[in-house]
């Protein structure tokens, strides 16, 4: 019998698929520091972002045949070492794309209408009329320009929402020249597809009113957005990072906000998690969320189903 450890949990729908296929599923979490001594009996491990599947963990599990990442990124798995040992590495790149894209707009709406500030001040004794005057200069999204860096699955879902809101989209992706968006669910053009032609990073930075990033990032790499990039942008721009911590240089982001080179930022991911930087967490012009981009009920169900089907396919062909 194939035995699987779902160390960071799995949606009931996904667990049912595995068990219906005759697999044994263990959802009892093994602490990270104990993993190297307790994986001998498992044929596969499924993780989310919490568990690290390092070289040492892989080497301690001689029976391991598959590693499943219930999510998009693989930065918590030593993919190269796993593949050198003939272990299949599986992820779910489609399942949470819409959830992340919607969180991007949650941050955009929050910053556009000062919701993070007005919510707090109304609850802590702020005078109603004064707050109404203070927060009466929000902006609308229609006819504004959304800049997207990284036009993969999440970037495309974000573009669809933007187009549905009447925004213009300008995008940069060194791997992509153009994409054809399936717009069947939106009645905004006479045809079912919308074409986005990519341009240079510099043009995106110069033109955008809002900027969102959807790119991979390896620890130790240079940040994709830093001081020189902020200097190219409008001083009214709102920057959103629901991608990877480190993609945006946090200290230089704070400096750009303080120097009014940019207006606001929304962050779901951070250079170090859990984040404790008081200059970031306490900044009036930053909206924060605790790395929840793909964490919706619907996304977790899709992720669980997709990873389960792929695991079954791997073992049963």
pLDDT mean across residues, the chain: 93
pLDDT at residue 185, as a whole number: 56
Assess whether 38 carries a catalytic annotation: no
From the candidates 48, 107, 116, 291, which is the catalytic residue? 291
Q: Tokens 């404790």 correspond to what residue?
A: 276
Is pLDDT at 73 greater than 60 in this prediction?
A: yes
- Return d(Cα 315, Cα 309) in angstroms, integer: 10
Structure tokens at 30: 């093994």
- 193 vs 238, residue with greater confidence: 238
Rounded Cα distance, 2 and 17, in Å: 13
Marked catalytic residue, from 244, 249, 283, 302: 244
Q: How many residues does the chain have?
A: 317
Asked whether 26 and 4 are in contact (CB, 8 A), the reply is: yes
Strands 264-267 and 168-172: unpaired
Average pLDDT rounded to a whole number, residues 243-265: 97
Per-residue pLDDT, averaged over 164-176, amounts to 95
More confident residue, 50 or 206: 206
39, 18 contact by CB (below 8 A):
no
State the angle between helix axes of 153-164 and 97-112 in degrees (0 to 180), rounded to the nearest 10.
50
* Residue 113 CA to its chain's centroid (Å): 23
Rounded Cα gap, residues 48 and 33, in angstroms? 17
- 273 has catalytic annotation: yes
The answer to whether the beta carbons of residues 154 and 98 sit under 8 Å apart is no
CA distance 235 to 263: 6
| 264, pLDDT greater than 70 | yes
Q: pLDDT tier at 186 (50, 70, 90 boundaries)? A: low
The H or E element spanning position 182 is strand 178-182
230: left (phi over 0), alpha (psi -120 to 50) or beta: alpha
The SS3 of residue 149 is strand
CA distances from 65 to 40, 183, 225, 310 (A): 11, 39, 38, 13
Q: pLDDT class for 218, splitting at 50, 70, 90?
A: confident
pLDDT value, residue 219? 77
Instruction: Tell me if 168 sits within 8 A of 199, measured CB to CB.
Output: no
The per-residue pLDDT for range 127-140, each reduced to its tens digit, is 999 999 999 999 99
The CA-based dihedral angle spanning residues 36, 41, 43, 45, taken in that order and rounded to the nearest 10 degrees:
-40
User: In this model, does residue 111 exceed pLDDT 50?
Assistant: yes
Six token digits for residue 220: 């130790």
Pairing of strands 168-172, 178-182: unpaired
Residue 238: both structure tokens together:
């709102």
pLDDT confidence of 103, banded at 50, 70, 90?
very high
In order of 38, 91, 248, 252, the CA distances from 43 in angstroms are 12, 16, 38, 45
Please answer whether residues 173 and 151 qualify as being in contact, where contact means their C-beta atoms are separated by less than 8 angstroms: yes
Average pLDDT over residues 106-113: 98
* Nearest of 114, 74, 72 to residue 96 by alpha carbon: 72
């Amino acid at each position: 019998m194939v035995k699987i450890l779902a160390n960071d949990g799995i949606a009931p729908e996904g667990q049912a698929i595995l068990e219906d296929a005759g697999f044994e599923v263990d959802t009892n979490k093994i602490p990270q520091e104990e993993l190297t001594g307790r994986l001998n009996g498992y044929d596969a491990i499924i993780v989310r972002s919490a568990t690290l599947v390092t070289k040492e963990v892989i080497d301690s599990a001689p029976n391991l045949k598959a590693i499943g990442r219930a999510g998009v990124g693989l930065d918590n798995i030593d993919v190269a070492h796993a593949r050198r040992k003939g272990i299949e590495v599986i992820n779910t790149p489609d399942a949470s794309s819409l959830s992340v894209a919607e969180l991007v707009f949650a941050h955009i709406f929050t910053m556009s209408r000062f919701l993070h500030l007005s919510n707090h001040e109304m609850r802590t004794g702020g005078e109603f009329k004064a707050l109404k005057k203070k927060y009466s200069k929000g902006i609308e999204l229609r006819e504004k320009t959304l800049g997207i860096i990284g036009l993969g699955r999440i970037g495309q879902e974000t573009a669809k929402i933007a187009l549905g809101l009447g925004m213009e989209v300008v995008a940069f992706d060194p791997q992509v020249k153009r994409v054809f968006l399936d717009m069947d669910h939106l009645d905004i053009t006479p045809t079912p597809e919308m074409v986005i032609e990519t341009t240079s990073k510099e043009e995106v930075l110069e033109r955008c009113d809002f900027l969102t990033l959807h790119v991979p990032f390896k620890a130790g790499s240079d940040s994709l957005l830093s001081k020189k990039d902020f200097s190219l942008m409008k001083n009214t721009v709102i920057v959103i990072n629901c991608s990877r911590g480190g993609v945006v240089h946090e200290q230089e982001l704070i400096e750009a906000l303080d120097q009014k080179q940019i207006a606001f930022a929304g962050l779901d991911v951070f250079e170090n998690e859990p984040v404790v930087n008081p200059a970031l967490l306490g900044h009036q012009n930053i909206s924060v969320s605790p790395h929840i981009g793909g964490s919706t009920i619907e996304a977790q169900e899709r992720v669980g189903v997709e990873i389960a089907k792929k695991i079954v396919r791997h073992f049963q062909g």
